[in-house]
């Protein structure tokens, strides 16, 4: 077999992928459903699989929102981070270490923003689940009662942080020392850069809700708290 330039394999792979996608659509007897393309990873950091199907959080978060949010935004942060760390010692570090190492460094703002957004989004997908919401139980429920008075006060405080974050950002339940607190961060900022242990998060960037709720961020936050929060994930983070 003769040697082929690298581009040949790249193009051939792209051609085969397109061909396979086309065949799959034909086999299903119709055009493929709308689904933004998910680029293959090329670099040390990869997009972790979504822990459920795109439509699994519907009607509270639509498959279309997930398609763009996970397939385009989250993937975009992964791609950009790979570009930024290529050929630097950060390329060999775990993601969390890259976030912490670049935090607060004026010459590494872009690396921090993209690394933190990769981390935050993975944490967000896991903070949600189909048929979630309701109330936590066991040790986590006790800690929430001890820290906030009762569950409803926690919920009100979390909703206030999520709706009150001016512009893009995140609302979090975190373990800070030995107590649980609600906090919010702007843009890509993340509690792991501040020595806090996140238990769960809700993304309040407009791209998280605009297709489904337009400007009604409070409705999105309420729907997530009531129907999608993954309390088992939060409990696991508390126990870690
Ligand atoms: Mn987002």
List Cα–Cα distances, 105 to 109, 114, 229, in angstroms: 6, 14, 33
Q: Write the burial class of residue 61 (CB in 10 Å: 0-12 exposed, 13-18 middle, 19+ buried).
A: buried
- If asked whether residues 228 and 169 sit together in one domain, one would say yes
Q: Which of 127, 149, 165 is the last residue of a domain?
A: 127
| Among the listed residues 12, 14, 75, the one whose alpha carbon sits nearest the alpha carbon of residue 43 | 75
Dist. CA 66 → ligand 1 center (Å): 10
Domain count, the chain: 2
d(CA 225, CA 134): 8
* Distance between Cα 28 and ligand 1 center (Å): 32
State the CATH number of the domain containing residue 75: 1.10.287.990
Distance 52 CA to ligand 1 centre (A): 17
CATH of the domain at 200: 3.55.40.20
Residue 35: per-residue pLDDT: 42
> Measured in angstroms, how far is the CA atom of residue 73 from the centroid of ligand 1?
7
CA–centroid distance, residue 201 to ligand 1 (Å): 11
Chain mean position to CA 185? 14
User: Distance from the CA of 207 to the center of ligand 1, in angstroms?
Assistant: 6
Show pLDDT as tens, one digit a residue, over the chain (240 residues).
333 333 333 333 333 333 334 344 334 444 444 444 444 446 799 999 999 999 999 999 999 999 999 999 999 999 999 999 999 999 999 999 999 999 999 999 999 999 999 999 999 999 999 999 999 999 999 999 999 999 999 999 999 999 999 999 999 999 998 899 999 999 999 999 999 999 999 999 999 999 999 999 999 999 999 999 999 999 999 999
- On whether the CB atoms of residues 230 and 129 are closer than 8 A, the answer is yes
54 domain-assigned: no
- 56 within a domain of the structure (yes/no): no
How far, in Å, is the centroid of ligand 1 from the Cα of 202? 9
Instruction: Calculate how far, in angstroms, residue 206's C-alpha sits from the geometric centre of ligand 1.
Output: 8
For ligand 1, the distance from its centroid to the CA atom of residue 205, given in whole angstroms, is 6
Residues 69 and 157 placed together within one structural domain of the fold? no
- Asked if 185 and 219 sit in the same domain, the reply is yes
Q: What pLDDT is recorded for position 186? A: 98
Tell me which residue range forms the domain holding 214: 138-239
Q: Are residues 187 and 225 in the same domain?
A: yes
Neighbours of ion ligand 1 (CB under 5 A): 203, 205, 208
Among 50, 71, 61, smallest CA distance to 221 is for 61
Greatest CA separation for the chain: 72
Q: How far is the CA of 69 from the centre of ligand 1 (A)?
A: 6
Alpha helices by DSSP H, listed for 37-193, are 63-68, 75-85, 95-102, 109-127, 138-148, 151-164
- How close is the Cα of 39 to the center of ligand 1, in Å? 18
- State in Å: Cα 74 to ligand 1 middle: 7
Nearest to 192 by CA among 222, 166, 172, 216: 172
């Amino acid at each position: 077999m003769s040697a082929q330039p690298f581009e040949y394999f790249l193009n051939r792979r792209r051609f085969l992928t397109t061909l396979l996608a086309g065949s799959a659509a034909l086999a299903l007897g119709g055009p493929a459903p709308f689904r933004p393309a998910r680029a293959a990873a090329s670099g040390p950091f990869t997009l972790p699989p979504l822990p459920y199907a795109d439509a699994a959080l519907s009607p509270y978060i639509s498959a279309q929102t997930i398609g763009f949010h996970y397939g385009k935004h989250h993937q975009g942060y992964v791609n950009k981070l790979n570009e930024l760390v290529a050929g630097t010692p950060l390329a060999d570090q775990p993601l969390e270490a890259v976030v912490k190492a670049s935090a607060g460094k004026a010459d590494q703002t872009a690396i921090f923003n993209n690394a933190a957004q990769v981390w935050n989004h993975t944490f967000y997908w896991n903070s949600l689940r189909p048929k979630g919401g309701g109330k936590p139980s066991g040790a986590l429920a006790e800690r929430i009662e001890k820290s906030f008075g009762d569950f409803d006060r926690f919920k009100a405080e979390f909703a206030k942080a999520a709706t009150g974050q001016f512009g893009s950002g995140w609302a979090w339940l975190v373990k800070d020392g030995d107590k649980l607190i609600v906090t919010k961060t702007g843009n890509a900022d993340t509690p792991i850069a501040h020595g806090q242990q996140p238990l769960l998060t809700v993304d309040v960037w407009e791209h998280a809700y605009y297709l489904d709720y337009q400007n009604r961020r409070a409705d999105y936050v309420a729907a997530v708290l009531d129907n999608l929060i993954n309390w088992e994930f939060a409990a696991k983070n508390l126990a870690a």
